[in-house]
Amino acid sequence: MTNGEFPNGARVLRAKIDMASPNINMRDPVIYRIAHVPHHQTGDKWCVYPMYDFAHPLSDYKEGVTHSLCSLEFENHRPLYDWFLRELGFENVPRQIEFARL
């Protein structure tokens, strides 16, 4: 996958969680995808990129964010946000809070 042998969308990497979950976001979500597009820093050297729902909690944690503020459309994504942080064993994790747009 990282060698570039597959075309866009041919392969993905999923987090195996729970296909029977009532929350569709917890049903084995895609966390990496193939996209053969130039990147502003790596150029054409890399073709595997993380999906937002995977990158969001990791970047918040790495950057020391304590409260991640999101609009209500992300409310059903919070269990996945918390799941990634918990499963990776991070301590003092950020808290995602949703609010209505004004």
- The type of residue at 79 is P
Q: What is the DSSP letter of 3?
A: T
pTM of the model as a whole? 0.88
Write down the pLDDT at residue 59.
97
Extract the tokens encoding 45: 């050297």
CB 14 within 8 A of CB 31: yes
The span from the CA of 10 to the CA of 30, in Å, is 13
The span from the CA of 83 to the CA of 70, in Å, is 17
**pLDDT score of 102 more than 80:** no
Q: How far is CA 6 from CA 9, 36, 41, 47, 82, in A?
A: 8, 9, 22, 9, 31
The span from the CA of 93 to the CA of 82, in Å, is 9
9-67: per-residue pLDDT in tens? Answer: 999 999 999 999 999 999 999 999 999 999 899 899 999 999 999 999 999 999 999 99
Q: Residue ranges per domain, the chain?
A: 12-99
